[in-house]
Structure 1
Amino acid sequence: MDSSFTDRKVLVTGGASGIGLACARAFRAAGAQVVALDRASGPSDLDTVHADVAYEASLSGAVTTAVERLGGLDVVVGCAGISGPVGTPLVDTSAADLAAVLAVNVTGQLLLAKHTYPHLSTGGAIVFLASDSAFVATPGMAPYCASKGAVVALTRALAVELNRVRVNCVCPSVVDTPMARSDLGDAAIDQADFPVQTADDVARQVLFLAGPHSRPVNGHALLSDFGYSARSGFPA
């Protein structure tokens, strides 16, 4: 068993399901104490505090509760996110839908850093969940792509500003999660003609960026897409 996180204090947003839940369980398996924040109730084996990351009062109160339960913070993982409209052209996307995506995916990460940084131990780590959609795009997902591009930029900005901790992000390609299945359908995941990651795959990437083996890595966006973005359009 990986014991790199023995007795480390970890907070994970979006921890009730999907990648967030996989991260929470992976940290706990590595010896950490974990509290998850989520709008939904988590499984019975997970210590979950209700929070909506898009609203500062809700998030700040939940962070305070989590810090009290843990007795401090060493690692913060921002997994809370929404996809927003999928397959909807921008010209048919409402300002309200765009604002909702940015509120969770961007403002939520900013607020998370704002309210956890004062509690983080020196040498601690923040890891955000971004997406390969920060670098490549598919039609009908402009709000989501814009939000994940912002998370990459935010990662770099905070790596420079928050000098007591490291800040990195993970940018996975399609991951088999309840959100992805809701957006794309079960067949698109189960019969995909492209590689699909598991939530556990991504959790291992998060643990690497949060742990001692990545000590020199700061301000980095880890793009994990099976090499697809490296491919040339040249027909050869």
Structure 2
Amino acid sequence: MNVALVFLAAIGAIIIWWLAGQRLTSKPWLEASPVQAVAGGQEPPVVAVKIGLYVFLGVVGALFSLSVSAYFMRMEASDWGGMPVPRLLWVNTAVLVLSSAVLQWARREARLGHMETLQPMLAAAFLLAALFLVGQIQAWRELMSTGYVLADNPANSFFYMLTGLHGLHVLGGLVVLGRTTARSFVADARKDRLRLSVDLSAIYSHFMLAVWLMLFALFAGWANDFVDLCRQLLNQGIPG
């Protein structure tokens, strides 16, 4: 249980730091209030839309944190067996990092109004995210072909559950990114709404990348080493 708490604290610290960084560059005093926007018949202000996304990401983060906590607690059982990490996951991780980086580039181009470069950037980010999902499915197939089926071991079940849950969230973001990409090719599309859509897609993509890196570290065993190190440091700091 102590291991799970330390790991969850690390996840929470990273999420809080990331969300705080997203708000450092905002200027809420320049935004219209939601009441003023509704009274004037305008669309909800940017700050309100982003807060809604942050709340949703907080719920998603809590869901994965509880799942990781259950993972750590289940590891202590005697029937827990090791599971190899497919090499394809390394490629998938690189693809997801690249997709997030390209989307961040598209975010910058949208803010500058460079539509000629925004469109290919969005299309590339979409294709890379889709390739990540295809790679995840292929990794499942490789594991199943070598005998690591879902119900064979609790470790297998957690792997398929966590990667599947992450994949569903990536798929949801992919749907939104696809709509944003299609909108960028519309000649009379509103530039402010397009910039907001790209901004939200980038934030969501970065968050899901952070979640995947945490999961990948968990499956590779690095998270256990990190937690053990933190626990040793905490024990050394407590006088006997």
Tell which structure's C-alpha radius of gyration is larger. Answer: 2
TM-score of the superposed pair, with normalisation by structure 2: 0.28
TM-score of the superposed pair, with normalisation by structure 1: 0.28
**Which structure has the highest strand share of the two?**
1
**Which structure has the highest helix share of the two?**
2
